[in-house]
Amino acid sequence: MKTSFIGLKIGEGNHRSVHLIDNARCMKILKPFVEKSYGPLRVRFPTPLYTYAKFGIRDFNEHEYSVYQRFFSSPPNNLRGCFERIHGLSEFGLIAEIVRDFDGGLSKTLERTGRVRDANFWRKLIEVREFLLENNIPLFDGVGASGIMVKKLDGFVAMPVFVDFKWLGQQMYPFQQYLRLRRFAREKTMRRFSRISQQYCDLSQESETAPSGKRI
């Protein structure tokens, strides 16, 4: 694949940017540098060098693909569609399926969507939480508002789609070695989901018992 085939940037994080390939696929590309601020100074580090020094991982794309293949490529039937489908690695980046709404538009992250009043979305999020806990999958920072898409299934119902699998395990918290212990890893996972619910859940008593809320 030539770099000229890589199109519009549709997302960006600290270490990678996401670009369209075509109507169905996107590519996650490592940024050449990571910029850090130290008081008045801004310093640029080569991304592979910085992530290896901090996390022990040279290539976040290779790491994420291995995590995806191990835990998320064949989810249980009730969670089909709740995890971004990754097609593979190329020499330029990680190729994944674009998350789109029912009308063909690009789905927004939970962070951009804001508070969600749809019981189906929150039921599915609980099911994902139980899947992670039951299988001792320490996804940690992947459980965050910027890494969860709100995929609209129609005008009223949505589902969560997780799109960031690189934040797996205690290596992302090099000074929190206790996360190697299952109990503390589970507690951290629970806190992540609890924080999302507190910040973004907008279910009233009525909508909790209804098939879905009146709005997304």
Q: Which residues contact 108 (CB under 8 A, 6 or more apart)?
A: 149, 150
**Up-side HSE of residue 135: CA atoms within 13 Å toward CB?**
13
Determine the pLDDT at residue 23: 93
- The SS3 call for residue 27 is strand
* Count of beta carbons in the 10 Å neighbourhood of residue 10: 12
Q: Where are the domains of the chain?
A: 8-209
Per-position pLDDT tens, the chain of length 216: 444 556 899 988 889 999 999 999 999 999 999 988 888 889 999 999 998 888 888 899 999 999 999 999 999 999 999 999 999 999 999 999 999 999 999 999 999 999 999 999 999 999 999 999 999 888 877 789 999 999 999 989 999 999 999 876 555 555 566 556 666 678 888 888 999 999 999 875 434 433 444 456
Query: What is the C-alpha to C-alpha distance for residues 190 and 81, in angstroms, rounded to an integer?
Result: 22
Instruction: Tell me which residue has tokens 């989810």.
Output: 75
pTM for the whole thing?
A: 0.85
- Find where tokens 């859940």 sit: 201
d(CA 202, CA 115) in angstroms, rounded, equals: 6
Alpha helices in 135-179 (DSSP H): none
Are 92 and 129 in contact, with CB atoms under 8 Å apart? no
Q: State the CB neighbour count (10 A cutoff) for residue 28.
A: 25
What are residue 149's DSSP bridge partners?
Answer: 109, 161
The whole-number pLDDT of residue 84 equals 97
Nearest to 70 by CA among 126, 147, 135, 127: 135
Cα gap 19→3, rounded to integer Å: 11
Q: Which amino acid is at 185?
A: A
